[in-house]
Structures are given as structure tokens and as C-alpha cells.
Chains A and B, each alone.
Chain A
Amino acid sequence: MRDQISPDRSRLLVIGNGMAGMRTVEEVLKRDPTRYRVTVIGAEPHVNYNRILLSPVLAGEKTFDEIIINTRAWYEANSIDLIAGDAAISIDPAQKQVSTASGRVVSYDMLLLATGSNPFILPVPGKELPGVCAFRDLSDVEMMLSAAQRYTDAVVIGGGLLGLEAANGLAAQGMKVSVIHLMETLMERQLDPAAAKLLAEDLTQRGIDIITGAVTEALIGADRVQAVRLKDGRQIPADLVVMAAGIRPNMTLAQAAGLACNRGVIVNDGLQTSDPSIYAVGECTEHNGQMVGLVAPIWDQAKVCADHLTGKTTSAYRQIQPATRLKVTGIDMLSVGQFNGGEGCEDIILRDGSRGVYKRLVLKDDILVGAVLYGDAKDGGWYVDLLEKAAPLGDLRDTVIFGPGLTASGAADSGLADLPDTAEICGCNGVCKGTIMAAIADKGLTTLKEVKTNTKAAASCGSCSSKVEGLLALALGGDYEAKAVDSVCGCTDHSHEFVRAAIRDKALKTIPQVMQTLGWRTPGGCASCRPALNFYLLCAWPGEYQDDSRSRFINERAHANIQKDGTFSVIPRMWGGVTTSGELRAIADVVDKYEIPSVKVTGGQRIDLLGVKKEDLVAVWADLNAAGMVSGHAYGKALRTVKTCVGSEWCRFGTQDSTGMGIKLERMTWGSWHPHKVKLAVSGCPRNCAEATIKDFGVIAVDSGWELLIGGNGGIVLRGCDFLVKVTTEAEVLEYCAAFLQMYREEARYLERTAPWVERVGLASIKSRLLDDTENRQALAARFAYAQSFAQIDPWAERVGGLDANEFKPMLVEA
């Protein structure tokens, strides 16, 4: 394309390689790709990325690569000169030149200012200490992530959108986080007090400390920040302080160049500054006294600005009321417009305390002018549409609070139906209605997930999910509703429960038979449904079903964990975490013999040999088998470890032989396959050194017997166990364990751990069937024992004996 641009083209120079600047460039290229030679000066040393998604990067939900908007190749393909990592330091409007920090001087015909804003740093003592940062760009996120690895306490100053997203991210990274907020309620610019209270409760539940009405006085520390001192004298420990107390338009360059500025760089309806050759977009601007702080209005600015830059000077920028959503996974909220009411306004409010749902709609003269949704914001898009239409609600008024589902037919999607194909649905990824509708039609998409993978719509922050679902409903009509059940995967509309029942009732015994009988849409299923079906069949027909290794994830097929470099790790079973010199010697020998690069003690009380070549696996196992060791199933949706403590045999507090109990449990349960992994632990007293209270099945010894606990896990969402029952004999411990595990095997959905399963079916139901119904408990335990009679064969020994030999050796090795 470069060749088509003659050197005497007009030069468009952009200062700021951020969201507003680059979106405007994209819009200019769309309108007239050859009009300008574009040069971009960006202070950050990167190509442009989606700043909104720094929050998921911080929370560990996305990588930096995933949030890049335009790669270097894109800049090259569009002949854009990117000067990255060099800030502009002055503009000379008379000479039409810009100078940069490194001494470059770049001339322009048209200049676009897109310098965004600067985080507001509270002017308190200690603000320069190491360990204090803002939350604005990638370097801030990098600093926070590295602090999270080394330190424990974080304080976020500011309880607005940015501050809370920072707090959530840091908590997800394992830090103990406190949020200090000046006002009495969180996000007071987007939430009314009622919704803010629910939000504070939800965040507190996640372990985030919320301190409102608090004035920060100083940051304390010598070489690094150590604490935050509040005006009331309280000191909050902090190894990291994130300032998220607001932003200020970055207009230093514009002011120095003599452009008209107030709180931001003043622009007219065409995004032109007081110098006709200089335009400005994004957070650095002020339009009719209004600033912008969200991307939706910025996309509008980009379009209008591009119109003007390419000669269409009739278009005018109009402010919209953008909706705010908090991007904290699991918290569903939306706020738009005059959510707090005011003169002449009326409220319609819905509260559902037990579901944690709160909705408030604000009407003025029968027109929707604001909304706050908390706990259930799936209809947010619909309300935003209503608000933008600004039409009197009329009859809709009676049911509007319940969302489009209850309103007159057609009303639900009329907003979407009316949108032109060019209307943007997903702001994060710039996907418009036409693209989504075409993908639904051409590729036969039927679920939100499919639309996400195929078009990237709703694949970033997800706030447009409801619109995408609306489009699906529009395209598929009545068919869509039927598909709303939690289907196993995109290959079928049936739920897990339906499929399991059919396997049982119709005596389906192979994967192809299930797919055939239940009308699978794809010929061979996919990587989601095949492992699920394999497990369901195995569980339903023990001893009879022929396991399909091709429907197992590589780890379960190769009986070792695949690593990022394609090698494997090997974890032999160590019954109850107990080992011997003989086992250790054999492990040491294997490590030497096969030059295994890494040996690690795992969190599950055993030893992990990492970096084993696939070709060596069978030989490694042969040597371990020879020393009496078997597979630890560390790779399986299977019984993993049974952790124990030393118990009464050695410990001065031990009340029972917890080690022995753990070994008995492991001997009974090893080799069993489950919907997800299963971990057990036995502690010898309530001090609970084996962490039995966060296991799928935990046992705590007390003087008078054993307390049995269920449904706990560490992991992504921490859940402490529920107390099941106290028993007195070892035989009872074993029976309850077997019965509980069998119930889980028979009922849970594939990839659902015991913790979410217990929450879904309810503790009461599980208790009544295990405790009150002795016969049922014994029958479950018997079914477990029966299944185990086929399952307890060491998979390593089988492979050492020659099973699946092809899996482990390459087909042809060329000399």
C-alpha cells in the first residue's frame, strides 16, 4: 500500500498511541486509505492495546498478547510510522512541527492530539515511595503483578471503577487487599447507596476490605511503602499502594502550544481545537463542558473526527450517556444515565434480597433517564436502548422493571431489530451487528459461546453479551430459547442430566451410540463432549464399558501431565504422603538415569518429576513399578491425593492415627475416575495440619471419633467444607467416603468439582440421602466398591506391559 502513497500526500501526525488516537486512525483509513501519510508518536513502548482489558490482565484472566489491538504488521501494512517509546514534548503550531523527547522533529499538515489523561496522584507525603503506582498502563500492571509475587498487603486508594477492578485483580493474584474510599459509598458516581452496599458486601465476601469515608493522610515507609495512614490515625499495612483516585486530562502540550483549554483541550462539534489544523479526541478533550472517561463516546468522537479529517465536515459529535459496568468476574452490574434521580424524577425499584438483585429505574415524564442494575444486569442492553430512544414508556411502564422477557412480544428485540447492520455491538473488539448476523447465518451458530469464538463479539469484557444474545434470538427466533439450557457443548442441545439419564434408561453403551441416539450435530463430537461422555459411560457401566482413550485428554491418555514444552511430569503415588528410603532411592535413580531436569515436592505431599520426554515415560514407570510405586493419577479427573498429618503416632496433640486412616482411604479410593479431580485429607486433631477442611472429602480426628467434611476445595474459588457427620469407627469413615464419592460420580456434571456440585444440589439434599437413608448409603458404597474392582489396576504397569505402546514412540525415526 505504501507505493500508492505519494510522498506529497498530506501528513497526519497523531500524538498518543492509545485507544482514541488509533481508533480515529482506523476510521480515517476506512474512509480514505490513501489520503494521509500517518505518523504516530506514542510515549508507551508498545503497539496499541486495549486499555480496558488491563483489568483482566491484572486478574490473570488474559495475557498482554491477547489485548493487543493492532500488531506491528498492521502498522506496516497501513504504512503508518510508529514512533513508540518517545514522548512528544512540544508543538509549534506556527511551523507545524512537533518535537519529541529523543530530539526528533516531525512536521505535519494535520495534527491529532490523543494524549488521554493522567492518573491523579494524591498530594500526600510518601507518594514518591517505591511500591506506589497508578492503574493506567501496562507498566503499572507489570509493577502490580511483580509486587503480588513478592508481597502480601495491598491498599487501593479510590473505590471507583478503576480502584475496584485493581483491588479485584490484586486479590486474584493472592494479595490481601484493602480499598480506601473517600466517600461513604463505593462508586458513588455510578451507583446509588443501595446498590453500592450490595457491591461492598460482595467484595468483602471475596476477602477485600472496604474502608469508606476515609481520608488518606500519608504513605509511610523507608525504602519502600509500608503502610497508609488515615486521618483518623489508623494505619493500614501496605507493601503496594495503587492510586486510583481519578484522572486528569493530559493537556500540557496543548496548553503550552497556546490552544484553548479549560479542564481539557476544548474541541468543537467536529473535534477541532482552537487551531484549525489541530484536532483532539479522547480523554484529553472537553466538549461543551463535558469530559469523557469511557470508550463508548470516544468511538463516536473517532468517527466524527475521521469524517472531518477526510473532508466530510457536516457530521457533528453529540454526547451520549455511556453505561458503566464493573469488569469483575462474577459481579454483574450496570449503571447508566441519571441513576440517582433528582428533581421531577420517579423511581421504579425491585429488590430480591435472597438473590442479591437490585434494580432501580429512574423515569422523568414517563421517559427512562437512568438505571442501576445490580446482581442481574443481563437486560442492561435493553435498558440502554430504551434510554437512548427516550420515548415515553406508556404501557411498558408496568412491566419494564422485569426486563424484556415480560414485556409485550417483540418489544424485547425491537431495539436490536431496528439497528442498522453497521451499528457496533461489541465495543471492545469493534464488531458490528451485520458481522454477527452474517456469522450466525453462514456458520449456523446457535450459542453465545459460538458467536464469541467466531466473531470475537462479547469475547473481551463481555458487557455486550446480552445484545449478542438478543441478536441470536432475533436470528433464530423461537429456536433460541430452547437452546438456553446448559447444554453439554455446542454439539448438542441436551443437558448433562438429560444425557446421563438417557445413557442409563436407554442402556446406551458407546459414545457413537449416544451421539446417534441423541442426535448429535457433529459427526465425532468435540474435545468438550467426548471426555464427558466417556466418563458418563464408564460410570454407568463399570466393567462393561470399553474406555475410549481417544476421548480422553492427553494427560489421561498418556497417564502423565503435559507441560508447556510438550514434555511430561510424573508423580508416583505416595500413600498418605508416607514414603521410604527405598522409594526415595528409586526416584533418585530414575532422575539420574533419564536425566530428568526437575524434581519438586508437590502441594499434595508427594514428589513430582518434571520434564520427562514422552518417549521415556514407559521406561521411567517400569523402574518406579519395580520399586513398588504406582501412578499417582496427578493428571486425572480422578482420585488424586490423600494428605495426612503425623497424627497420634507421633504428634503430642494427635487423637487418632490420621496417617493410617489416610492410607486406608487412599487404598480404597485410588484409581477411581470422577467428574473432576478429587482430593482427600485426614488431620489428627482440629489443628488440621492436613488442611482437611478444604478437601472434597475431609476427615478430622477428635477424641471421640472422626468428623467428616465434604465439598471443600482450594483452587480458583476457595470453599471451606461443610460438616457432614461425626462417626466413631474407621469402617464408618470408609463407608461414608465411598457413598459420598459415588453420589458425586453419579450426579455431578463433567468438570464440576464437589464444591460447586454441593452448592448446586444443596447440602440438605446430600445429607438426607447419606445420613437418614442408611440403605441408600450402603447401596452407593457398594456401587463404588463394584466400580473399584475394575478400576484399581495400575495404568503405568499396564503400559509397561505393552498397552498403547504406539502412544509413546514416534512412528519413524530417521537416522
Chain B
Amino acid sequence: MALWLDIGPAADVPSQGARKLHIAGRQIAVFRTAEGKFFALEDRCPHKQGPLSDGIVHGDCVTCPLHGWVINLASGTAQGADEGQVLKLAVALEGERLKLDIAALSAAAAE
């Protein structure tokens, strides 16, 4: 079941950029692409836990700032020959505000 949380105005997330959130001891990154799409991933690169929110956003991908893995924002999977998966959360734009579905977080925590 979805668990939507209001995380603030969409305008706070820069285009081709990201913002961090701390929720329940977890770090989440909310991204906005040049086309205005929003995505949310856990802020932990599957390679060595680099902060994806500090990466460069291009197309629907982000390049991790530490060693350059490229992560697809829509699926959370590492691109190219690198293998890895980042926890993905749903985001929704409601009017001017962003909502984040944090159900996946509790599910992941329960594992």
C-alpha cells in the first residue's frame, strides 16, 4: 500500500538537479530532469554508496560523483556493463507540491 508524504514544493528541486531528504534514518534523493520529470531513489550508489544526489543529471540518468557509474532514474538500475540496483520510490506532482511514496522504505527496512 502506498504511503504518500508531502516533501515540499516542486520548485525546490532544480532542473537537471536533485535534492536530498532524510527520512527515517534513510537518505533519499529526489531528481528533476531537463524535461521536468521527477524521480526518487535511495541516495546510495550500488557501487560504493556514493551520494547520487550530488551527481550530474543527464537525460533520465544520473552519473555518480564518486566513480562515475551511471544510474537510470526511472528504474534505479546501473547502466552499461555495471551491475547494481538502487531502491526506487514513487514521486508524484500534486499541483505545486511533490509527494513521495515511502511505502518501499518500510518494506525495505522490514527485510
Contacts and interface: CB of A to CB of B under 8 A. Distances in A.
B16 A810 contact: no
B58 A554 contact: no
Contacts of B50: 566
B66 A522 contact: no
Contact of B68 (A527, A550, A558): A527
B7 A812 contact: yes
Interface in B26-80: 30, 33-35, 48-51, 54-59, 63, 65-66, 68, 70, 80
A456 interface: yes
Contact of B58 (A454, A524, A562): A524
B54 A558 contact: yes
B81 A456 contact: yes
Interface in A441-476: 452-456, 459
Contacts of A249: none
B66 A806 contact: no
A814 interface: yes
Interface residues of A, number: 31
A811 B33 contact: no
A524 B33 contact: yes
A814 B49 CA distance: 22
Nearest to A450: B80
Contacts of A527: 55-56, 58, 63, 68, 70
Contacts, number: 88
A459 B82 CA distance: 12
B23 A814 contact: yes
Nearest to A491: B58
Interface string A513-554: 000000000111111001100000000000000000011111
A448 to B, nearest CB: 13
Contacts of A531: 56
Contacts of B24: 814
B45 to A, nearest CB: 10
A469 B26 CA distance: 44
B33 A455 contact: no
B12 A523 contact: no
B89 to A, nearest CB: 13
A150 interface: no
A550 B15 contact: yes
Interface in B9-23: 12-17, 19-23
A322 to B, nearest CB: 26
A14 B35 CA distance: 55
Given A562-B54, A811-B13, A812-B8, A553 B59 contact: no
A811 B21 contact: yes
Contact of B16 (A550, A554, A806): A550
A810 B56 contact: no
Nearest to B32: A550
Nearest to A551: B56
A813 interface: yes
Contacts of A652: none
B34 to A, nearest CB: 5
Interface of A: 452-456, 459, 522-527, 530-531, 550-555, 557-558, 562, 564, 566, 806, 810-814
Interface of B: 7-8, 12-17, 19-24, 30, 33-35, 48-51, 54-59, 63, 65-66, 68, 70, 80-82
28 contacts: A453-B81, A453-B82, A454-B81, A459-B81, A524-B34, A526-B56, A526-B63, A526-B70, A527-B68, A530-B58, A550-B16, A552-B56, A553-B56, A557-B54, A562-B51, A562-B65, A564-B48, A566-B51, A566-B54, A811-B12, A811-B13, A811-B20, A811-B30, A812-B8, A812-B22, A812-B23, A813-B21, A814-B23
